[in-house]
């Protein structure tokens, strides 16, 4: 078992979110200078801007990237599991500029007093270009239609199979969260 697979089980991403952990580690870099490092804690301030994500991709293949929080509003009471923060499909050859944004990036916003949340990035290799025309396109200034998402059901619907790459970090409330909530109400 690879280190990432072991950590996905230790942090209960398997089975809370997916049944099989990915083999490959995703490289995720934020403009704040931090990178996602297998369950290390980051702050909402550090992850407020869309990161650069890289994986071992093939130029002619299509991929789907998801970032989800299964701990909304808290790990003890995950009634909105999973809240999706970012969903991008039809990524050609790993080039995020050649993709279809289904849900634009929203950084971490764990409510005050809810402890650490898991923020999970998963990449799936698509069987080909997918028709996402029936999926609502969500902007980054609203939290509507993001809760009670299931990446496993989404993957099943579009025949994506198991995730090929992943990574995750933990975050809890900091003073950026109220600014994020204000942005989501615009």
Indicate if the pLDDT at residue 83 is higher than 70: yes
Buried b (16+ CB within 10 A) or exposed e, 41-75: ebbbbbbbebbebebebeeeebbbbbbbbbbbbbb
Indicate if the pLDDT at residue 1 is higher than 80: no
Q: Which pLDDT does position 186 carry in this prediction?
A: 60
Reported as a pLDDT band with limits 50, 70 and 90, residue 77 is very high
Q: Which pLDDT does position 105 carry in this prediction?
A: 97
Count of domains for the chain: 1
Domain that holds residue 58: 3-184
Q: Which pLDDT does position 143 carry in this prediction?
A: 87
Best CA proximity match to 108, nearest among 47, 61, 36? 47
Best CA proximity match to 64, nearest among 101, 27, 30? 101
How much of the chain, in percent, has pLDDT values that exceed 90? 94
- pLDDT tens track for 51-64: 999 999 999 999 99
Indicate if the pLDDT at residue 180 is higher than 70: yes
As a whole number, the mean pLDDT across the chain is: 95
Q: Which pLDDT does position 10 carry in this prediction?
A: 95
Q: Is residue 70 a contact partner of residue 114, using CB atoms and an 8 Å limit? A: no
pTM over 0.75: yes
Averaged pLDDT for residues 30-38: 96
Indicate if the pLDDT at residue 169 is higher than 70: yes
The CATH number covering residue 125 comes to 3.90.280.10
Reported as a pLDDT band with limits 50, 70 and 90, residue 92 is very high
- pLDDT tens track for 95-135: 999 999 999 999 999 999 999 999 999 999 999 999 999 99
């Amino acid at each position: 078992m690879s280190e990432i697979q072991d950590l996905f089980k230790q942090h209960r991403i398997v089975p809370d979110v997916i049944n099989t952990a990915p083999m490959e580690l995703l490289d995720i870099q934020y403009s704040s200078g931090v990178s996602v490092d297998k369950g290390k804690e980051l702050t909402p301030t550090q992850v407020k801007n869309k990161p650069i994500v890289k994986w071992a991709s093939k130029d002619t293949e299509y991929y789907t990237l998801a970032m989800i929080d299964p701990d909304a509003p808290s790990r003890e009471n995950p009634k909105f599991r999973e809240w999706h923060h970012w969903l991008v499909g039809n990524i050609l050859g790993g080039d995020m500029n050649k993709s279809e944004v289904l849900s634009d990036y929203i950084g971490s916003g764990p409510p005050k007093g809810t402890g650490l949340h898991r923020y999970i990035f998963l990449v799936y290799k698509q069987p080909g270009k997918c028709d996402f025309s029936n999926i609502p396109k969500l902007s980054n200034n609203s939290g509507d239609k993001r809760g009670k998402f299931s990446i496993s059901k989404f993957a099943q619907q579009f025949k994506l199979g198991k995730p090929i790459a992943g990574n995750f970090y933990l975050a809890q409330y900091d003073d950026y969260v109220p600014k994020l909530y204000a942005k989501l109400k615009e």
